[in-house]
């Protein structure tokens, strides 16, 4: 048996363990374990829905707006509130800014280093890099010569700074395939992305008062009232972000993809998808959102969500009992036993839709929008498929490379919508519309907030009596994706996506890492691999600073 332990894998937030069994160079089984119990449902009990919208943001520092938003929608359904048009627009801008921050951060600063080797950029010819960038249609805002000097200084002093602790030498140095010039271009955009995701957070801070954990998103609407100066700031930032995203993200994706085209052949997962929809249109209907709701089965057929089909199974998670609960339910009883892949091995519950595992995330949203014929999404996805050499074959998006690539389409779509929403808000203010907040008609009721975080379908449900929460439930995107095996022994979406991944380096399974990052899990992770045919043992511990 060969076991490889890497702890932690960088570029993921939180605590995640992935254990894989490898047979004949491919993953034959996998177990995904979330290593952190939060219990936020228990924290908000006996508090007001207004308090809950602030507290649940603390689940995450990357997608706090989405948690506040979903919680607020649940409260508004319980209270019988329909928010104003101004509040709808402002919330869309606030949510859109967070999505742009997260998507830019994920693609360049979290996932890209599975494909891009900044050290290889030292071999590049800067002039050729400019020519390649022009041919690829991607931006050339950075000084490639100056960047090479900075990289050289990192390498010469033995400290690689932000590029430390990665697997650039995986598979005897053949795991990374880009030419030096493309590595140089993408490394430049990595550094630019650090600035652009910060600008997206500035938009959130203007509207939300600060970021992370905004203060103005409240049940009943918004506490943000735009001024001329703030609208001017929003327009400047949104235009700047759009211009960078439009010039950079999809061109970079198309430039990188041909070198890793084999990643279209693995990483599919369960092949079923949930998206609750995000960004409200004037109708406030889930199926009419700018990114609409959709449940997609394994034949890629689309249907509307039915809440009563959402369940969670406890039998392989560290909670009491082996029940399967139907949403909405309000039971959270943690009980840690031990890590045992044949019994209980994760803090993540096992959500299902109609009794089956479903994937959440950018791929799910794009597929739902594609199936509902959202014009921009259809046009861009069809163009991507053609560029990947698979015109009209939407099924190829069900892969590690497909999951990674389509999220850039969503990023550009949202960046364009942000320009529209800022213009819409300007017109509303100009017309004298000053309706931003509405009082509740009751303080007793129940409601569910179907929404999306950048990583996928987000569900908050609550019961309220006399203004106090008596029950609360949350199903976050990563819960869907990191679900353990269900009662029938069927693996969760990420576990299924890992099965079949080629493993060319048992000590640095780079393809498995690419698949994990394609889901953008909100966790930090340790990866464990077993190969029953051998008896070797290998272990390494890495940190972001390269310490071993």
Has residue 548 been placed in a domain?
A: no
> What value, to the nearest 5°, has the Cα angle with vertex 547 and ends 542 and 548?
60
Rounded-to-integer distance, Cα 156 and Cα 168, Å: 17
Task: Assess whether pLDDT exceeds 50 at residue 71.
Answer: yes
**Residue 474 is assigned to a ligand binding site:** yes
Model pLDDT for residues 427-449, shown as the tens digit of each residue: 999 999 999 999 999 999 999 99
Model pLDDT for residues 390-405, shown as the tens digit of each residue: 999 999 999 999 999 9
**Residue 41 is assigned to a ligand binding site:** yes
Rounded-to-integer distance, Cα 321 and Cα 310, Å: 19
pTM value is 0.93
Task: Assess whether pLDDT exceeds 90 at residue 523.
Answer: no
**Residue 386 is assigned to a ligand binding site:** no
Rounded-to-integer distance, Cα 520 and Cα 400, Å: 11
Task: Assess whether pLDDT exceeds 70 at residue 533.
Answer: no
Closest Cα partner for 498 from 263, 260, 171, 269? 269
Has residue 47 been placed in a domain?
A: yes
**Residue 90 is assigned to a ligand binding site:** no
Has residue 61 been placed in a domain?
A: yes
Token pair recorded at residue 211: 């970021």
Find the CATH number of the domain harbouring 420: 1.10.645.10
Closest Cα partner for 447 from 44, 78, 71? 78
- pLDDT band for position 4 (50/70/90)? very low
Task: Assess whether pLDDT exceeds 50 at residue 241.
Answer: yes
Please name every residue paired with 414 in a beta bridge, in sequence order, or none if there are none. none
Other CB atoms within 10 A of residue 486 CB:
20
- pLDDT band for position 160 (50/70/90)? confident
Token pair recorded at residue 302: 């689309």
- When pLDDT is averaged across residues 26-46 and rounded to a whole number, the result is 83
Rounded-to-integer distance, Cα 55 and Cα 68, Å: 8
What backbone torsions phi and psi does residue 447 show, to the nearest 5 degrees?
A: -160, 160
**Residue 528 is assigned to a ligand binding site:** yes
Task: Assess whether pLDDT exceeds 90 at residue 540.
Answer: no
Q: Out of 29-38, 392-401, 417-426, which region has the weakest mean confidence (pLDDT)?
A: 29-38
SS3 state at 49: helix
- pLDDT band for position 531 (50/70/90)? very low
- pLDDT at position 165 is 79
The answer to whether the CB of 256 falls within 8 A of the CB of 184 is no
Number of domains in the chain: 1
Q: Out of 33-47, 100-114, 295-309, 461-475, which region has the weakest mean confidence (pLDDT)?
A: 33-47
**Residue 63 is assigned to a ligand binding site:** yes
- pLDDT at position 13 is 54
- pLDDT at position 512 is 93
**Residue 525 is assigned to a ligand binding site:** yes
> Which structural domain, as residue segments, surrounds residue 79?
2-526
Has residue 540 been placed in a domain?
A: no
- pLDDT at position 62 is 84
Has residue 391 been placed in a domain?
A: yes
Model pLDDT for residues 193-215, shown as the tens digit of each residue: 999 999 999 999 999 999 999 99
Has residue 154 been placed in a domain?
A: yes
Other CB atoms within 10 A of residue 303 CB:
13
Pairing of strands 221-222, 273-275: unpaired
The answer to whether the CB of 321 falls within 8 A of the CB of 311 is no
- pLDDT at position 544 is 35
Has residue 537 been placed in a domain?
A: no
- pLDDT at position 159 is 75
Has residue 90 been placed in a domain?
A: yes
């Amino acid at each position: 048996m060969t076991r490889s332990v890497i702890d932690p894998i960088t570029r993921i937030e939180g605590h995640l363990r992935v254990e894989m069994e490898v047979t004949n160079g491919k993953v034959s089984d996998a177990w995904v374990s979330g290593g952190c119990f939060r219990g936020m449902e228990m924290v908000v009990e006996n508090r007001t829905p207004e308090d809950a919208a602030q507290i649940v943001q603390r689940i995450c520092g990357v997608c706090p707006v989405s948690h506040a938003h979903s919680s607020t929608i649940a409260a508004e359904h319980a209270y019988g509130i329909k928010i104003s048009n101004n509040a709808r627009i402002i919330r869309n801008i606030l949510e859109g800014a967070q999505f742009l921050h997260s998507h830019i951060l994920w693609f360049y600063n979290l996932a890209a280093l599975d494909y891009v080797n900044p050290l290889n950029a030292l071999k590049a010819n800067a002039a050729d890099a400019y020519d390649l960038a022009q041919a690829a249609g991607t931006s050339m805002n950075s000084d490639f010569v100056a960047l090479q000097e900075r990289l050289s200084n990192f390498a010469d002093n033995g400290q690689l700074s932000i590029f430390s602790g990665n697997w650039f030498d995986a598979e005897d140095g053949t795991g990374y395939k880009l030419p030096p010039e493309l590595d140089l271009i993408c490394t430049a955009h990595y550094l630019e992305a650090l600035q652009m995701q910060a600008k997206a957070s500035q938009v959130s801070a203007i509207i939300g008062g600060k970021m992370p954990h905004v203060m103005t998103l409240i049940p009943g609407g918004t506490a943000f009232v735009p001024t001329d100066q703030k609208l001017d700031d929003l327009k400047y930032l949104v235009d700047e972000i759009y211009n960078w995203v439009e010039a950079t993200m999809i061109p970079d994706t198309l430039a990188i993809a041909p070198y890793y085209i084999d990643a279209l052949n693995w990483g599919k997962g369960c092949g079923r998808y949930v998206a609750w929809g995000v960004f409200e249109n004037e109708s406030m209907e889930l199926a009419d959102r700018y990114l609409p709701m959709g449940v997609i089965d394994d034949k890629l057929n689309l249907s509307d969500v039915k809440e009563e089909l959402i369940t969670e199974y406890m039998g392989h998670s560290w909670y009491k009992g082996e029940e399967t609960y139907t949403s909405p339910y309000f039971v959270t009883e943690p009980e840690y036993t031990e890590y045992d892949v044949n019994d209980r091995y994760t803090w993540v519950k096992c959500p299902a839709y109609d009794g089956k595992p479903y994937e959440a995330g950018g791929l799910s949203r794009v597929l739902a929008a594609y199936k509902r014929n959202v014009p921009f999404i259809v046009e861009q996805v069809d163009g991507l498929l053609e560029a990947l050499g698979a015109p009209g074959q939407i099924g190829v998006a069900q892969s590690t490379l497909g999951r990674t690539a389509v999220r850039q389409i969503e990023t550009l779509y949202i960046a364009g919508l942000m320009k529209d929403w800022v213009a819409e808000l300007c017109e509303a203010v100009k017309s004298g519309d000053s309706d931003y907040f509405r009082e509740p008609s009751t303080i007793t009721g129940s409601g569910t907030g179907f929404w999306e975080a950048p990583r996928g379908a987000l569900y908050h449900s609550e019961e309220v009596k006399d203004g106090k929460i008596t029950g609360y439930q949350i199903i976050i995107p990563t819960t869907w994706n990191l679900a353990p095996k269900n009662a029938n022994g069927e693996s969760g979406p990420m576990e299924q996506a890992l099965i079949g991944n080629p493993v060319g380096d048992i000590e640095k399974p780079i393809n498995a890492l690419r698949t994990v990052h394609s889901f953008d899990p909100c966790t930090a992770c340790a990866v464990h691999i077993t190969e029953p045919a051998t008896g070797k043992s290998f272990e390494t511990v890495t940190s972001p600073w390269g310490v071993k």
